[in-house]
Amino acid sequence: MRQCLTSPDGGYYTSRTEGRDQFGQKGDFVTSPEISQMFGELIGVCIVAEWMAQGRNSAGVYIMEVGPGRGTLMDDMLRTIRNFKPLASAIEAIYLVEASPSLRQAQHELLCGDAPLEETDIGFQSTSKYAPDLKIIWCEDVRFVPKDPSKTPFIIAHEFFDALPIHVFQSVAPSPHASTSPSQILTPTGPISNPARQQQSQQQGNQWRELLVSPTAPPSTITTSSSKSSSTTGGSKPEFELTLAKAATPHSLYLPETSDRYKALKGTEGATIEISPEALSYAADFAIRIGGSASQTPSSSSSTSPTQPASTYRNRAPTPVAFPKPAPSGAALILDYGPTATIPTNSLRGIRAHAAVSPFAVPGAVDLSADVDFIALALAALDASPAVEVHGPAEQAAWLAGMGIGERAAQLVKRALERERGIAVGGEGERGKDGAKGDLTETVKRIETGWKRLVDRGPNGMGRLYKVMAIVPYAPLEKGKPRRRPVGFGGDVAV
pLDDT number for residue 451: 96
* Cα distance between residue 294 and residue 205, in whole Å: 39
pTM: 0.84
* C-alpha R_g of the chain: 25
Phi first, then psi: what are they for 62, rounded to 5°? -140, 155
Which residues in the chain come in under a pLDDT of 50?
Answer: 179-181, 220, 226-234, 296-321, 435
Backbone angles phi, psi at 226, to 5 degrees: -150, 130
Q: According to the model, what pLDDT value does residue 179 have? A: 47
**Largest Cα–Cα separation, the chain:** 100
Provide the pLDDT for residue 21.
Answer: 64
Q: Tell which residue, 37, 41, 63, has the closest CA to residue 51.
A: 63
The rounded distance, in Å, linking the Cα atoms of 463 and 468 is 10
Number of H helices, E strands in the chain: 15, 18
Angle at 92 between CA 89 and CA 98, to 5 degrees: 130
Determine which helix (DSSP H) or strand (DSSP E) holds 393, and give its type and residue range.
Answer: strand 388-395
Burial class (CB in 10 A: 0-12, 13-18, 19+), 284: buried
Give the Cα-Cα-Cα angle 275, 63, 331 (nearest 5 degrees).
Answer: 60
Contact between residue 57 and residue 152 where contact means Cβ atoms under 8 Å apart = yes
| pLDDT given at position 483 | 85
- The closest alpha carbon to 391, from 269, 475, 285, belongs to 475
- List, in order, residues 6 or more apart from 195 with CB less than 8 Å away: none
Q: Which residues pair with 335 in a beta bridge?
A: 158, 468
Check: CB of residue 128 under 8 Å from CB of residue 304: no
Nearest Cα residue to 200 out of 185, 178, 182 = 178
Q: What are the strands, taking DSSP E only, across 375-428?
A: 388-395
Q: Looking at residue 233, what is its pLDDT? A: 45
For residue 319, give every residue at least 6 positions away whose Cβ sits within 8 Å of its Cβ, in sequence order, or none.
Answer: 293, 383, 384, 385, 386
pLDDT value, residue 312? 39
d(CA 295, CA 275): 28
pLDDT at 224 (0 to 100): 52
Beta-carbon contacts of residue 137 (< 8 Å; ≥ 6 apart) = 93, 94, 95, 96, 120, 122, 123, 124, 125
